[in-house]
Amino acid sequence: MSSPHPYIPATDADRALMLERIGVETLDSLFHDLPASRRDPAISLPPALTEPELIALLSERATENAAPSRPSFLGAGAYRRSVSSIVAHLTSRSEFVTAYTPYQPEISQGTLQSGFEFQSVVCELTGMDVANVGLYDVASATAEACLMAARATKREAVALLEPMHPGAIDVVQTYARGPALRLDVLDSPEFVSEAHACLVVQQPDFLGTIRDLAPLADAAHARGALLVVVADPFALGLLRAPGDAGADIVTGEGRDLAGGAAYGGPSLGLFAARSQFLRQMPGRIVGRTREVEAGDGREPRTGYVLTLQAREQFIRRERATSNISTAQALIALAFTIAVQALGPQGLRESAELCYQRAHDAARRIAAIPGFDVPERGPWFQEFLVRGPLAAPQLAAESSARGITPGLDVSDRQEPEADEALLFCVTEATPDSHVNALIDALAEIGAEA
């Protein structure tokens, strides 16, 4: 070690003094327990960069991605949202950013009280009794919901209702390997049976359609199964709360409202449930309490702590409800501030704006000769588009015109998805992008 690095404060002189006080000759001697034959292997890493070099290199890399200005109509689990400028501002405050999990509540009230705010927001949106402070993402939260339902019902199979995000099905399958749960992917809720711990449904579903949840709750409950609803929290600004329609567990993805797709992560899994499942829940939970009597006659003040920790890995070890430790706290803070900034009116207006803009775009596409928007029922922000070309060709022709089209879903079994792309338009899709899309599709239609 010679030239100091900006991240490492000790100088050579510091080190010499420290070694002397420790009573060893060299730094290497502190590693003498490590097997000599294995020490200091050849390792090939790219050379170190100074900060200006690092910024230059990675800024160039960022431009190697498609330009953020390129029109894109991808949704399918990640949605462009209008996020208030205050979200990034407040969540960049380093007391939030550089704190660890709040093990010392007296100096972690910022994280803890925010966590309590988050739980409250999630409960209000979902119509559930209790929420945790968040899991990794919607799919892993849904997988945890399936494991919890299996524990609560003592059943060994779970049912997922199509259309469901294929990535979510895949993650549930991964998690189900542990307790060896059987996974049944159903085309119809009538196939839910007494073997199933839960029926999992997505709201809106993977193809964008708004579900009527109450009959699904009835179908599940009639078989003794729980209803798990995988809900888009933004859409819940407009749609009935799943809890009011009979859901037992609600999961969701908070990343988009928190401020950015970031190629899919960091994400934020929302997890809420009815109160009877509280002690079965995975993840950390914040509770409200008061100071212990100070003994100075002062009224004890209100504070927040991590609570019900007897469910958790660091206490319960192999009998924990989940192994989760580090989750997505900073994204949960961003989500909370974003939703609270919108407030009850703003969230409703924003969700309605999203609905209107998506429907307007769909109407304009359907009016282009050769194009069709097959509907499967009421929908929110995603819609199927069929053109005069097969889906892959339509996608390629759009891309060639500088537009990233909707996701190709033509390999799905639903008849409406045949030869279709799944387009998404939200409140944050620029008008100019929609106009460019209409022009491009009209051109494709005219040439076909």
Partner 1 sequence: MTDYRPAGEDFGARLSFDRGEPGRRAVDVPCWSGDESPLPDAHLLRDSLRLPELSQGELVRYYTALSTRNYGIDSGTYPLGSCTMKFNPKVNDLIASLQGFAEAHPLAPEEDMQGTLRTLLELRDGLAEITGLPAVSLAPAAGAQGEFAGVLMIMAALQDRGELAQRRRILVPDSAHGTNPATAAMAGFQVTQIPTAADGSLDRDTIERELDETVAAVMVTVPNTLGLWERGIEEVAELIHEAGAYLYADGANLNAIMGRIRYGDLGFDVAHLNLHKSFSTPHGGGGPGAGPVCCSEELAPYLPTPILEQGDDGVVRLAAPERSIGRMQQFHGNVGVLLRATAYMRALGLDGLRSVSGQAVLNANYLRVLLHGWYDLPYDRPVLHEVVFSGSRQRREHGVRTYDIAKRLIDHGFHPPTVYFPLIVEEALMIEPTETEPPEAIEALANALIAIAKESAEDPAALHAAPTTAPIGRLDETAAARRPVLRWQPPSP
221, 223, 240, 376: which one binds partner 1 (CB under 8 A): 240
What span, in angstroms and rounded, lies between the C-alpha atoms of 259 and 261?
7
Tell me phi and psi for residue 196, to 5 degrees: -90, 130
Token pair listed for 123:
């409960």
Residue 446 buriedness (CB in 10 A; 0-12 / 13-18 / 19+): exposed
- Nearest CA to 266 among 146, 66, 32, 97? 97
* Binding residues with partner 1: total (CB under 8 A): 199
DSSP 307: E
List the beta bridge partners of residue 202: 230
**Closer residue to partner 1, CB minimum distance, 326 or 413:** 326
Interaction between residue 393 and partner 1 (CB under 8 A): no
Contact between 167 and partner 1 per CB under 8 A = yes
CB 383 within 8 A of CB 373: yes
Q: Name the residue nearer to partner 1 (CB basis): 194 or 432.
A: 432
Q: With binding defined as CB under 8 A, does residue 326 bind partner 1?
A: yes
- Of residues 327-346, those binding partner 1 (CB under 8 A): 327-331, 333, 337, 339-346
**Residue 166: CB minimum distance to partner 1, A:** 9
Looking at residue 130, its amino acid is: V
**313, 283 in Cβ contact below 8 A?**
no
Nearer to partner 1, 14 or 194 (CB): 14
Q: For residue 12, state whether it binds partner 1 (rule: CB under 8 A).
A: no
Residue 72 is given by DSSP the state: B
Q: Please, what is the minimum distance in Å from the beta carbon of residue 14 to partner 1?
A: 5
Q: Which is nearer to partner 1, 210 or 223 (CB)?
A: 210
Pick from 153, 193, 280, 307 the residue near partner 1 by CB under 8 A: 307
For strands 196-203 and 249-253, give the pairing.
unpaired
445 is an interface residue for partner 1 by CB under 8 A: no
List the interface residues with partner 1, window 106-145 (CB under 8 A).
Answer: 106-111, 113-114, 116-117, 119-121, 123-125, 129-131, 133-134, 136-140
Residue 410 as a binder of partner 1 (CB under 8 A): the answer is no
What whole-number distance in Å separates Cα of residue 63 and Cα of residue 331? 25
Indicate whether 54 belongs to the interface with partner 1 (CB under 8 A).
yes
Nearer to partner 1, 70 or 446 (CB): 70
